[in-house]
């Protein structure tokens, strides 16, 4: 009797979930979920309850959208003023600027100075030096703020700043920074730093929305004059594991008008968690506009249209005439972005992809290899980076456009997580990013072969790809 009841329950799950999954998912995601539920009904149902919802729950999405609306209505100086700066940008990229403005609702800003920091230790030292120079405020919005040596050094700099009367505010993702929140965060709070977790992982939230949607941004603003954005978290270079060696990140230090937009992004995240609007003229000091770089800040996530970031990346790929280089630790592009890259190769564009030879998520890596082999068969160059774990997320299009930020080239970054990316326009700054990408290529001692691996290896990659919409 128990066996028949169990068998019957499985078929109830299989049949009952069909209309639920089809109503809520895109076709490729629906197929992956229905396949999982059909073969392992109870496990598939449990996974769908936790991870199957489209994005955040309605309440949380409304809360984040309210934060964007309230902050931008209250303080417009970070995103308004001069007309969008398109001078010096090739005319063929003007439509891309318009699309980026639509995606992140922020205009282009000229007159910026940017500094590429590719060494993790150098980035931490530079950030600490800027914190030690802070006179009014330090704002940090971080996915991983670790309870390790690097976190302790930044903690000490923040404590020193508070003792000078500087307002220090710290937003950290509740999952990515869970060790810090359970550890040294208490000491730092007692020192006077305001610390708040984002997107809690409590059981109560599990009942309302999927809990694997994270704030994946890496952002810092000091005195409204200096900003940091990129792929690096506040964590030791080995990310707490010696298996891969140092992780290779890339961060951009920005000064100029673009810092005001980074400030707005922090204020929106702060309001979403605290329901408090930060105020004061010191948040938006008159910027130095003597730099030569035109930039555009592109936040994405729950407050914006789904797939908007992916649409922007696909549009950039279609505008390439000579060469595209992509570096990413995880490559799950989805069919639309994959087709854009395949078409670029067939148009005669050289497409280079640089990924780690060994990644820290085996299933994600296996799924990515399937996509990469398809591109290699189409004629793309797929380099397997072997010096540490490549974590830098960059794209260059010809010598006119570069993208650096927190987004991986995967479905999760395109459609789920809160991300922050920086578009850089201009030949010289694009060449600076290109130079760093060429360094990664030079450290890649292997090229992915387009032919299938062994029978079992190919089967594993194909199976992982089938479930890639869920990754």
* Burial of 1: CB neighbours in 10 Å, binned 0-12, 13-18, 19+: exposed
More confident: 129 or 105 = 129
Give the residue carrying structure tokens 């390439």. 320
Which residue stretches of 326-409 are H helix? 334-346, 362-378
Which pLDDT score is estimated for 455? 59
Report the range of poorest mean pLDDT among 7-21, 99-113, 185-199: 7-21
Annotated catalytic, 361?
no
Contact (CB, 8 A) for 266 and 139: yes
Residue 393 designated active-site: yes
- Both tokens of 131, joined, read 């914190």
Cα angle 212, 214, 215; round to 5: 175
Q: Are residues 280 and 177 in the same domain?
A: yes
- Same domain membership, residue 408 and residue 269: no
* % of the chain with per-residue pLDDT over 90: 45
pLDDT digits (tens, 9 = 90+) for 445-459: 878 776 666 555 555
pTM attached to this predicted model: 0.85
Nearest one of 87, 436, 388, 426 to 244, comparing CA atoms: 388
Rounded Cα–Cα distance for residues 293 and 433 (Å)? 13
Has residue 194 been placed in a domain?
yes
pLDDT band at 368 (very low <50, low <70, confident <90, very high): confident
pLDDT tens across 280-300, in order? 878 999 888 888 898 989 888
Contact 170/162 with Cβ under 8 angstroms?
A: no
Closest CA to 56 of 336, 306, 346, 311: 306
Query: Does the active-site annotation cover 218?
Result: yes
Predicted confidence at residue 37, as pLDDT, reads 76
* Catalytic residue flag (residue 391): yes
- Tokens 């995240």 identify what position? 269
Same-domain check for residues 34 and 169: no
Structure confidence by residue, pLDDT tens digits, 143-184: 999 999 999 999 999 999 999 999 999 999 998 999 999 999
Do residues 259 and 223 touch, judged by C-beta distance below 8 A? no
Catalytic pick among 137, 218, 260, 385: 218
Catalytic one of 167, 385, 391, 432: 391
Q: What is the pLDDT of residues 388-441, one digit of tens each?
A: 899 999 999 998 889 999 999 887 788 778 899 999 988 888 899 999 999 999
Q: Which of 398, 410, 415, 432 is catalytic?
A: 398
Looking at the structure, tell me whether residues 373 and 417 fall in a common domain: yes
Query: Is 322 in the active site?
Result: no
Structure tokens at 260: 């005001």
- The span from the CA of 255 to the CA of 181, in Å, is 30
Q: How many CB atoms lie within 10 A of CB 73?
A: 9
Is residue 82 domain-shared with residue 122, that is, in the same domain?
A: yes
**Domain count across the chain:** 3
**Considering the domain boundaries, does residue 101 fall inside one?**
no
Q: One of 147, 393, 410, 415 is an active-site residue; which one?
A: 393
d(CA 253, CA 355): 24
Q: Exactly one of 148, 173, 223, 352 is catalytic; which is it?
A: 223
Kindly state the tokens that stand for 438: 């060429």
CATH classification of the domain holding 266? 3.30.870.10
**Domain with 447 in it:** 308-470
Over residues 219-245, the pLDDT tens digits come to 999 999 999 999 999 999 988 776 777
Residue 266 pLDDT more than 90? Answer: yes
pLDDT range class, residue 260, cuts 50, 70, 90: very high
- pLDDT at residue 470 greater than cutoff 80: no
Q: Which residues pair with 196 in a beta bridge?
A: 171
Q: Does residue 171 fall inside a structural domain? A: yes
- Give a yes or no: residue 100 inside a domain: no
Pick from 296, 283, 282, 216: nearest CA to 252: 296
Of 294, 325, 354, the position where a domain reaches its end is 294
């Amino acid at each position: 009797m128990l066996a028949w009841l169990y068998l019957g329950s499985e078929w109830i799950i299989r049949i009952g979930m069909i209309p639920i999954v089809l109503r809520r998912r895109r076709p490729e995601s629906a197929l992956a979920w229905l396949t999982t539920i059909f073969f392992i009904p109870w496990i598939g149902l449990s996974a769908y309850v936790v991870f199957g919802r489209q994005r955040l729950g309605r309440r949380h999405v409304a809360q984040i959208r309210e934060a964007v609306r309230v902050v931008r209505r209250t303080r417009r100086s970070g995103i308004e003023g001069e007309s969008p700066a398109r001078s010096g940008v090739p005319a063929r990229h003007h439509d891309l600027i318009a699309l980026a403005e639509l995606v992140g609702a922020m205009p282009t800003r000229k007159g910026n100075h940017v500094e590429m920091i590719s060494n993790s230790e150098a980035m931490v030292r530079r950030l600490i030096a800027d914190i030690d120079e802070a006179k009014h405020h330090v704002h940090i919005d971080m996915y991983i703020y670790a309870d390790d040596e690097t976190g302790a050094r930044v903690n000490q700099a923040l404590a020193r700043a508070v003792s000078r009367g500087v307002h220090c505010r710290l937003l950290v993702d509740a999952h990515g920074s869970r060790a810090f929140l359970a550890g040294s965060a208490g000491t730092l709070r007692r020192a006077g730093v305001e610390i708040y977790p984002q997107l809690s992982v409590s059981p109560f939230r599990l009942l309302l929305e999927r809990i694997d949607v994270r704030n994946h941004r890496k952002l810092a603003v000091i005195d409204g004059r200096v900003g940091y954005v990129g792929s690096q978290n506040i964590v030791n270079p080995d990310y707490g594991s010696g298996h891969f060696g140092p992780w290779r990140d890339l961060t951009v230090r920005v000064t100029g008008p673009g810092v005001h937009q980074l400030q707005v992004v922090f204020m929106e995240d702060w309001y979403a968690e605290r329901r408090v609007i930060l105020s004061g003229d010191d948040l938006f000091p008159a910027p130095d506009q003597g730099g030569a770089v035109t930039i555009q800040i592109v936040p994405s996530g729950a407050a914006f249209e789904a797939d908007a970031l992916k649409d922007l990346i696909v549009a950039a790929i279609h505008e390439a005439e000579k060469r595209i280089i992509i570096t990413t630790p995880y490559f799950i592009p989805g069919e639309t972005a994959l087709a854009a890259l395949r078409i670029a190769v067939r148009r005669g564009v050289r497409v280079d992809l640089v990924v780690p030879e060994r990644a820290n998520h085996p299933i994600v890596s296996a799924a990515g290899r399937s996509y990469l082999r398809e591109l290699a068969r189409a004629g793309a160059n797929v380099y397997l980076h072997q010096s540490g774990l490549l974590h830098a997320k960059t794209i260059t299009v010809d010598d006119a456009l570069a993208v650096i930020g927190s987004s991986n080239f995967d479905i999760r970054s395109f459609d789920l997580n809160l991300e922050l990316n920086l578009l850089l326009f201009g030949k010289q700054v694009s060449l600076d990013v290109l130079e760093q990408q060429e360094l990664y290529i030079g450290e890649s001692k292997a090229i992915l072969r387009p032919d299938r691996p062994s029978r079992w290896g190919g089967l594993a990659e194909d199976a992982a790809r089938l479930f890639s919409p869920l990754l």
